[in-house]
Structure 1
Amino acid sequence: MGMIKDAQVSVRDLFRWRQRTVTVDEQGNEHVTFETPSTPPNPIRLLRSISMLGWGAYLIGFFCWTADAFDFHALSIQTVKLSQHFGISRTEISTAVTLTLLLRSVGAAIFGIFSDYFGRKYPLTVNMWILGALQVGSIYAPSWNTFLAIRALFGLGMGGVYGAAAGMALENIPVEARGLMSGIFQQGYSFGYVLAACTNLGVGGATSSWPIMFWVGAAMSFAAGFARLIFPESKQFIEARQNSKGSSTAQFAKNFGKMLKLEWKVCVYSIILMSWFNWFSHTSQDSYTTFMLVGKELNNAAASRASILMKTGAVVGGTFVGYFSQWLGRRRAMIIACFMVCCLIPAWILPETESGLEGGGFMLQFFVQGAWGVVPVYLSEISPPAFRAIFVGLTYQLGNAISAPSTQIINALSDSHTIRNHTGRVVAAYGPVMGIATAIIAVGLALTAAVGPEKKGASFESAAAATTAEAVTDISAAAAPSKAHQSSSVGQATSEEDLAGKKGANGDSHAVLTKTEYA
């Protein structure tokens, strides 16, 4: 019943203009306020508020995430070329995408633990170099089975990038600027797609041109690794280690077990949410180039141009919606974006001309990736502070694993059904399949976000390192209700009415909770 009540309060919060905001003090207690949103801050002022160290960490994290995205799309955007090169169907080629997505969660667990234990620097450096080496290995694969095995290993490497890169990018960002910078960071993925599409356009449509994409991806990954190597370790991680005692591997394992026991609800919720998100993006983008080549009969150059503009819309949308989430609230911004996607599906799949497809693709991806723009900061805010790298990376990649068959399912359903296109030719039904699937996923994502927690403004700075005894104290403090609250609800179910009469200096409702809010 507690979870149902939590969900009811979360839904009610969506219809209140006063927003739930959570901060965490040094004892691990959560301070919940309901505040009237102020006018969206000047984005120029937000950008100027970031220190030089913060900008350096942010840009390197963004570069690593962009290189990771380019590496992934070097395969998905060349499905037709690779199908011709290996002499197999497009659906079989998409098996490589499925394997990559499935194994990313394993990589996220491995590299996430390394990042929370050893720090952000060396795990991410090694991770990027592994990706570069596997890109080169893909080029020299003598057979399809060997290529498939290399891409499976590639998935392990890809899994470790997101959590470490997001942590590095956002840990040094002021609270007010998080929404904007989260939106920009997430679009490193879309930017990687744009770069891949531009490269594909530049190399032409010849089947023999496919290795060039992998060479470019390898160069980017090696460069990102070197950039991370020369940048200092996370300031917060160093200070947490220096100011904490009792650091040990056994302590890390103990803290991790306690975290899972106490935070399992938010972990499960986050995995479900991220599975919807990954279905959302992979269903609406991975087969879109194939849809334009096969269903709309565009040539390689036209399809590449349309893909570039589509993902340009994603970059712009992620930035805008991420920025406005600081004003609207994280979940409300996601839900509005999902609603707009449903409205734009006809404009996305029905046009017959290159310009029409470009316009529809731009607007749909504006809101698909607009919703995604909120994800890095949202996951970081609801995550257990001492385990941010593994929580963000693993929940994201487990969602990826659940959505792993998405591209293969879309290709299989589309190839097994046919429609007549605008020329009267019978073609694979990519348009209807992608449209129906995207609408279903957008609704599921919106409903899931509606029942989740909101912790806009949660502190990134006060947690001890995961290897220290203090981390156990913080986690325990967050779990144990104080005497003042033992007789009342201390979870997500705390509502604005429960806080009535508890006014802060600025007139906002306020209370101190001693338990993490769960979905």
Structure 2
Amino acid sequence: MSITPQAQISAQDKSYSAKALVSIALAWAFDAMDFSILTFVLVDIMKDYGVPLTLAAAVSSATTFARLGGGFLGGLIGDSWGRKAGLVISIIWFTIFEFLTGFSIGFTLLFLVRILYGIGMGAMYANGTPMLMEMMPAKWRGFASGLMQSGFSFGYIFAAIIYRVWYGDLGWHAMFYIACIPALVVAIYIWAQVPESSRWRKEKSASKSHSVPVSHLFKDGNTWNTIHAALISLIAFGVTYPINIFYATLLKQHGHFSPAIVANTIIILNVAGIIGNILGGYLSDIIGRRAVLIISAIGTLACSFVFQSISTDWERNLFTFLIGLFSIGGVWAAIPTYIAEHFKTTVRSTGQGTTYHFGAAVGGAIIPLIVSGIAPSVGGLAHAMTYSVAITSILVIVLAVLWRESKGSVLE
């Protein structure tokens, strides 16, 4: 039985979609791994450079602020030159500065290098996510979103493994040398095997302008889409980043647990995050993006007391899993799809990169600083984390109620 040309094209498109899904999810996972390693060594930075927790945490916040600039600049590249070129350039950029992090011989140099690293991290998401959403069939877009977003949890697990296996023998500097290798391999694979987004190529060939219409983010009815995408990103980062940044430190400093227990707890958190992302992404294709977000925020709110219950093994493990399922996972499962579905192709990379990383810069950078700053006055880091996660979970629910459902929409 012969295969029709249309069937051949369909089979080829499926192959390209699968390659894009796997490679972009891995790129995000290794990007997140490189970023997350820093959370395991905050205590070492404090000790080696003689800085307090707030200043050590500011390294992560500075990286996150830099992601906003990277998301905007990377988005401009993606909308002008193509998603693939922007993606590969951004991966190579952040691997270079990940490697150079290990050479930091002082706190000031470390601070600068991590800012430059953040630019590449922001640009990677600004190109990888729109490219993936444009290459996936509409009925699987939510699942792809959840699977790709689960890459952050995979990255945290990879970071925990590196910490557990090599930290004791090689020290914290060497962890950054090891971490930069996998992402570089993925960049080479994407350049050689993954095609450019056909949706971007079609739009570019039909466009008479070679400039990126950044102003379109606030024209033709897009103003609310842009503002809402930025707000939902901001609050979602406010839910998850205090957990990502401080949970390992809480376990080490206040729980006095061994590196093995710290690593195992973080692995539980992020295994649950992977399950929550994939399940939430799948469900968002059935019950909608809003419903998944609301359910996940309610679950996060209910489990927000976990940080005050880390001394008992079963409580720590059970509620670590649950809060990972709902916050690291479910809250984020539908957000990449939501943002992509509310921007046109001509400005999708710029819009996605800018609004997502605005959320990272404000919610992911400022809120952890607030948490570390108020900890002494509210009874410690555990209480500060609980209050922060609970309040931001409530705000997620409020914003979701105002959210226009976008499930199944056609990308313009």
After TM superposition, the score normalised by the length of structure 2 is 0.92
What displacement does 1:452 show? 1.9
Counterpart in 2 of 1:437? 388
Letter in 2 for 1:193: Y
Q: Could you list the runs of 5+ residues in structure 1 that have no partner in the other structure? A: 1-47, 420-428, 464-519
- The aligned counterpart of 2:23 is 60
* Aligned residue number for residue 392 of structure 1: 352
Deviation by residue 1:272-321 (Cα, 9 ceiling, x = unmatched): 11100111110222100111112222111111110011111000011111
For 1:266 and 1:172, how far apart are their aligned partners in 2? Answer: 22
1:49, 1:174 within 8 Å by CA — same for their partners in 2?
A: no
Correspondences of 1:70-469 after superposition (within 5 Å): 70-205=33-168, 209-231=171-193, 232-242=195-205, 244=206, 246=208, 248-249=209-210, 252-253=211-212, 255-262=213-220, 263-368=222-327, 369-403=329-363, 404-414=365-375, 416-417=376-377, 429-460=380-411, 463=412
Distance 2:331 2:207 in 1: 40
1:270, CA displacement in angstroms? 1.1
| 1:413 shift after superposition | 2.6
Instruction: Tell me if the contact between 1:167 and 1:388 (Cα under 8 Å) persists in the aligned partners.
Output: yes
Name the structure 1 match of 2:3. none
Q: Is the 8 A contact 1:344 1:363 kept in 2?
A: yes
Distance 1:357 1:457, change over 3 A: same
1:133–1:374 distance in 2 versus 1, CA, 3 Å: same
More helix by share: 2
- Find the counterpart in structure 1 of residue 7 from structure 2: none
> Shift of residue 159 of structure 1?
1.0
Using the TM superposition, give the Cα deviation of residue 66 of structure 1 relative to its aligned residue in structure 2, in angstroms.
0.9
Amino acid in the other structure paired with 2:233:
M
Q: CA deviation at 1:330?
A: 0.6
Residue 39 of structure 2 aligns with an amino acid whose one-letter code is S
Flag the structure with larger Rg. 1
CA distance in 2, matches of 1:418, 1:294: 17
Q: Distance in 2 between matches of 1:49 and 1:241?
A: 22
Q: Work out whether residues 345 and 364 of structure 1, in 8 Å CA contact, stay in contact via their aligned partners in 2.
A: yes
Task: Go from structure 1 to structure 2 and tell me whether the alpha carbon gap of 1:259 and 1:212 turns closer, same or farther (over 3 Å shift).
Answer: same
CA contact (8 A) 2:307 2:383 kept: no
**Identical positions, percent:** 22
Distance 1:235 1:431, change over 3 A: same
Higher share in strand: 1
CA drift at 1:87: 2.5
Whole-angstrom CA distance in 1 between matches of 2:197 and 2:308: 44
- Per-residue deviation at 1:125? 1.0
Tell me, in whole angstroms, the C-alpha distance in 2 between the residues paired with 1:69 and 1:185. 12
- C-alpha offsets along residues 317-362 of structure 1, whole Å, 9 cap, x if unaligned? 1111111112221112101110111112234531413443122111
Aligned to 1:19: none
1:417-440 deviation digits (Å, cap 9, x = unpaired): 485xxxxxxxxx221111111000
Listed as ranges, the gaps of 5+ residues in structure 2 are: 1-10
Give, in whole Å, the separation in 2 of the partners of 1:245 and 1:141.
45
| CA deviation string 1:134-182 (max 9, x = no partner) | 0121111221111111111111111111121112222221111122221
Superposed CA deviations along residues 384-410 of structure 1, whole A, max 9, x for unmatched, are 332211111110001111121222222
Q: Which amino acid aligns with 1:451?
A: L
Residue deviations 1:209-228 (CA, integer Å, cap 9, x gap): 11232112211232222122
The answer to whether the 8 A contact 1:103-1:155 is kept is yes
In 2 relative to 1, CA 146–322 (structure 1 residues): closer, same or farther, beyond 3 Å? same
Contact 1:302/1:354 (CA < 8 Å) preserved in 2? no
SS in 2 for 1:287: helix
Give runs of aligned pairs for residues 478-489 of structure 1, distance below 5 A.
Answer: none
Whole-Å separation in 1 of the counterparts to 2:321 and 2:346: 38
Contact 2:54 2:372 in 1 (8 A): yes
Q: Give the secondary-structure state (helix, strand or coil) at the position aligned to 1:126.
A: helix
The code of the aligned residue for 1:406 comes to: I
Aligned pairs, how many? 398
Residue identity in the other structure for 1:375: I
Distance 1:355 1:245 in 2: 59
User: Counterparts of 1:298 and 1:380 in 2: how far apart (Å)?
Assistant: 41
Structure 1 pair 448–418 and aligned structure 2 pair: CA distance change class (3 A): closer
Single out whichever of 291-300 and 311-320 deviates more from structure 2: 291-300
Corresponding residue for residue 481 of structure 1: none
Maintained 8 Å contact 1:162/1:393: yes
